Structures are given as structure tokens and as C-alpha cells.
């Protein structure tokens, strides 16, 4: 909500992707007809208005059943201090002009907005719990995780090893410059013996109204650039990354690596090398596993897939890596041969059918190439 009229504007509304963490696996609130759970957030500081509306509710006296206590379920995840009536909320909205982003400005960029017909400015900040007011703001911000990340949980903000990176949009209201929350990322700094740290991305969320505009890539690249300058950082990883995050990371890392000397077309065609691993880690804080994916994507770009020899060489190179888990299974099988009875061995062999392995390998290869092509298409447009 930026203006009072946004309260009535359906265009500013977005619905949760998940609600099982609040309403159980069936995502059902029992006992209401026409139930609406309304949560409004002021665009910048995320002050909250919470209301529940419904046309009717089951009555314990007559129906002998009790309706779910929806209000207490929501109260469990939104911090106290929220508004319950519109007038209080609108009076807070008038003070929004005083809201300023927390922490240190790392990056400013602009995105062309077709609808508005102009470039809109965005800024990325790094904050921590010592910033005045940030703890309370973060409590409100993290409530979005419950609705948009499938296995979300709140973090321990008293642990000083957390870093917070925030994206804001700059906009004008009555001649003043205001800021709207776009999204954020939390990163935990793990200790690596003897004197390094390994930042691990824990949570990342771009709010639905801003998705598909490239903010995730801007945020991830900014975070990488922030840690790249630190001599104590070993490399950057992610905790249990989603499929979408992996695609985003592929794009950002390829964009960062494509100008490194070790990824020149001539060197790519010679195969994956230790030089790539070293340079990507030392200059860009990218680990070996992610460097290998970058190599595969950039080699695809350098390969003429219409040339039978180049195409075959590329396919074999990728499949050599993909076959790793299957080879592990075969080693396990060799062990089984020595200690299993014949009928037990037959049972295990049925599970490791070689033809099926080849089919799965080809399927994995085709899927990978398809994903890699999408990264290269996006790179070409960047």
C-alpha cells in the first residue's frame, strides 16, 4: 500500500502460493462461508493491517462443531503491533515519508517500466541488527516467507553471523521520494578452518508484484560482488536451493565468469580444468561444483551442435559427469555380489537395469541442455 486508494484496488492484491504452514496440509480453514483473510502492508516499513471478513460462521450451539480460530493462526506469524482498523493504518501511511532504507547502499540500478513508460530506480542495501528499527522491520518482512517459500522458517536474529540484503524501489509521492520494499536475501557466514568464512544463502524472496523484472539476478549478483572483495571469504553456497534459484544462480555466475580468460572458447573446447576452478574461486568466490556448471553452459555456447564431432564431444563430456551416481551404484553392486544370497542379488539387479540407466542418462542430458539454452538466451538479452 502506497496510497490510501490502494486499500480498495484489487490490482495491488496478491495471494499466497502456500498456506500449509499455517492451515495444515489441506490448506483449509473450516467453518466459514465467504471467508477473506486480509493483510495489508505499507509499502516501505511494512506496518500491517489485519482483518477477517466472512458472510457466516458455524455456531457451536446449533451445529455442535467449532470453527477454526483463524485469527490466532495468523497472529502466530505476524508480529504484535499491527492495526485492526483502517483509520489507524491510513494515519501510519501518512508518516511513511519518514521511512528510509536500512544499512549501507551497495548498488543502484533502473528497470524500464512499460506501463509507466519510464525507468524506475531500485537500490540494494546491506543491513544488520544494529541498524535502528531494523529488527522490528525484519519481523514484519519475514512473515512473507510463510506464504511464498514452501519450507520456510524464521531465523535466529540474535546470531550475529547473519547478513541481510534488501531491495527497495524509489518512488515519488506528492513531490517527496519514498521507498517500497521489493525483496530480500539472508546469508549466514559459516566458519571454515583455519581463517575463512563460507557465506551461505538461506532465504531469498522477491515479492510477487516485482517478480519477472530481473530483481533476483540484480540481488544475487550484488551479494556476490559484495563478498568477492573480502579476502577471508572462501566461496558462496546456498542452503537447499530450489529449482528456480539454481536457474537464477546459473545465469548470474555465467554472466560473472564469461569474461575470465580461463573460459575463452579455445580453453572451453579443451575440457574442464583446474585453472577454471582456481580462477573462479579466487576472483569470484565460486565453488568447484558451480564452476563446473558454468563451464558446461559456456562450452555449449562455444559448441556448434550441428557439427557431429563437436556435438558428440560435448555430449560425452557432460555424460561422463552425469554417470557418476550410476557408477557408484555399480560399485555397491559389486560389494553386494560378494555378500548377498542369489535371490537377494536378483532383487537388487532388477532395480539397476542398464537399459534404464542409459535412458535416464539421455533424459538428464537433454533436460540439462534445455536448461542451459534458456540461460544462454537470457544472457544474450542481458
For the cut 80, the answer to whether the pLDDT of residue 342 exceeds it is: no
Mean pLDDT of 315-324: 90
pLDDT attached to residue 348 = 57
pLDDT at 136: 97
Whether the pLDDT of residue 325 is over 80: the answer is no
* CATH code, residues 4-96: 3.90.360.10
CA distance 23 to 335: 47
Position 260 pLDDT exceeds 80? yes
What is the distance of C-alpha 20 from the center of its chain?
19
What is the rounded average pLDDT for all residues in the chain?
92
- CB count within 10 Å of CB 343 equals 7
User: Is 90 exceeded by the pLDDT of residue 269?
Assistant: yes
Residue among 188, 148, 5 at smallest CA distance from 86: 5
Question: What pLDDT score does 346 carry?
Answer: 62
Average pLDDT of the residues in 18-43? 94
Percent of the chain at pLDDT exceeding 70: 91
119 vs 263: CA distance, rounded Å: 34
CB-based burial, 234-253: b 16+ in 10 Å, e otherwise: bbbbbeeeeeebebbbbbbb
> Locate cell 524464521: which residue?
154
Domain ranges for the chain: 4-96, 99-300, 322-381
Arithmetic mean of pLDDT, 123-127:
98
- Quick one: pLDDT at residue 324? 75
Strand partners, 126: 104, 165
Cα dihedral 148/150/155/161 (nearest 10): -90
* Position 333 pLDDT exceeds 90: no
Per-residue pLDDT band at 228 (split at 50, 70, 90): very high
pLDDT (0 to 100) of residue 7: 94
User: What are the helix (H) ranges across the chain?
Assistant: 20-23, 60-63, 70-75, 86-93, 134-141, 143-148, 215-228, 243-257, 265-268, 274-284, 288-302, 308-322, 324-339, 342-351, 354-381
What pLDDT was estimated at residue 177?
96
Residue 189's beta-bridge partner residues?
199
Buried b (16+ CB within 10 A) or exposed e, 158-167: eeeebbbbbb
Across residues 301-311, what is the average pLDDT? Answer: 96
Please check the confidence at residue 352 and state whether its pLDDT lies above 60.
no
* Cβ neighbours around 265 below 10 Å, total: 11
Per-residue model confidence as pLDDT tens digits over 149-186: 988 889 999 999 999 999 999 999 989 999 999 999 99
Residue 150 annotated to the active site:
no
Query: What pLDDT was estimated at residue 152?
Result: 85
Q: For domain 99-300, which CATH number applies: 3.40.50.300, 3.30.565.10, 3.40.50.261, 3.40.630.30?
A: 3.40.630.30
* Measured distance CA(235)–CA(163) in Å, rounded: 15
Grid cell at residue 343: 535371490
Which pLDDT score, from 0 to 100, does residue 312 have?
96
Q: What confidence score (pLDDT) does residue 345 get?
A: 59
3-state secondary structure of 237: strand
- Contacts of residue 61, defined as CB under 8 A and 6 or more positions apart, other chains included, come to none
* pLDDT score recorded for residue 64: 76
DSSP string, 252-270: HHHHHHTTSGGGSHHHHTT
Q: 22 and 55 in contact (C-beta within 8 Å)? A: no
pLDDT for the residue numbered 360: 86
Kindly give, in sequence order, each residue whose CB lies less than 8 Å from that of residue 119, ignoring residues fewer than 6 positions away: 110, 111, 112, 113
Query: 259: pLDDT confidence band, cut at 50, 70 and 90?
Result: very high
Task: Please identify which of the residues 53, 118, 239, 363 carries the catalytic annotation.
Answer: 239
Amino acid at each position: 500500500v502506497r496510497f490510501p486508494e490502494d486499500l480498495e484496488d484489487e490490482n495491488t492484491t496478491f495471494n499466497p502460493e502456500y498456506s500449509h504452514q499455517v492451515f495444515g496440509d489441506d490448506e483449509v480453514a473450516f467453518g466459514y462461508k465467504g471467508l477473506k483473510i486480509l493483510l495489508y502492508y505499507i509499502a516501505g516499513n511494512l506496518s500491517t493491517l489485519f482483518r477477517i471478513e466472512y458472510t457466516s460462521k458455524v455456531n457451536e450451539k446449533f451445529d455442535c462443531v467449532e470453527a477454526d480460530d483463524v485469527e490466532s493462526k495468523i497472529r502466530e506469524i505476524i508480529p504484535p503491533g499491527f492495526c485492526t482498523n483502517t483509520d489507524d493504518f491510513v494515519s501510519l501511511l501518512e508518516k511513511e515519508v519518514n521511512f528510509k532504507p536500512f544499512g549501507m547502499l551497495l548498488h543502484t540500478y533502473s528497470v524500464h517500466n512499460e506501463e509507466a513508460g519510464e525507468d524506475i530506480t531500485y537500490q540494494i542495501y546491506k543491513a544488520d541488527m544494529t541498524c535502528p528499527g531494523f529488527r522490528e522491520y525484519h519481523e514484519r518482512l519475514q512473515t512473507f516467507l510463510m506464504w511464498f517459500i514452501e519450507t520456510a522458517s524464521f531465523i535466529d536474529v540474535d546470531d550475529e553471523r547473519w547478513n541481510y540484503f534488501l531491495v527497495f524501489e524509489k518512488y515519488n509521492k506528492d513531490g517527496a521520494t519514498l521507498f517500497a520494499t521489493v525483496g530480500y536475501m539472508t546469508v549466514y557466514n559459516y566458519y571454515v578452518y583455519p581463517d575463512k568464512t563460507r557465506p551461505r544463502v538461506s532465504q531469498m524472496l522477491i515479492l510477487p508484484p516485482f517478480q519477472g523484472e530481473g530483481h533476483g539476478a540484480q540481488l544475487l549478483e550484488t551479494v556476490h560482488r559484495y563478498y568477492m572483495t573480502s579476502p577471508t571469504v572462501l566461496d558462496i553456497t546456498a542452503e537447499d536451493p530450489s529449482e528456480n534459484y539454481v536457474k537464477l544462480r546459473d545465469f548470474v555466475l555465467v554472466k560473472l565468469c564469461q569474461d575470465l580468460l580461463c573460459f575463452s572458447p579455445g580453453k572451453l573446447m579443451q575440457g574442464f580444468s583446474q585453472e577454471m576452478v582456481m580462477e573462479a574461486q579466487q576472483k569470484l568466490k565460486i565453488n568447484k561444483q558451480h564452476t563446473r556448471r558454468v563451464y558446461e553452459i559456456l562450452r555449449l555456447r562455444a559448441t556448434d551442435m550441428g557439427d557431429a564431432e563437436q556435438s558428440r564431444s560435448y555430449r560425452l563430456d557432460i555424460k561422463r559427469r552425469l554417470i557418476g551416481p550410476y557408477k557408484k551404484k555399480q560399485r555397491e553392486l559389486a560389494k553386494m555380489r560378494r555378500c548377498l544370497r542369489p535371490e537377494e542379488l536378483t532383487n537388487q539387479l532388477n532395480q539397476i537395469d542398464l537399459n534404464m540407466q542409459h535412458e535416464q542418462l539421455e533424459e538428464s542430458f537433454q533436460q540439462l541442455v534445455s536448461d542451459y539454452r534458456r540461460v544462454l538466451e537470457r544472457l544474450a538479452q542481458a
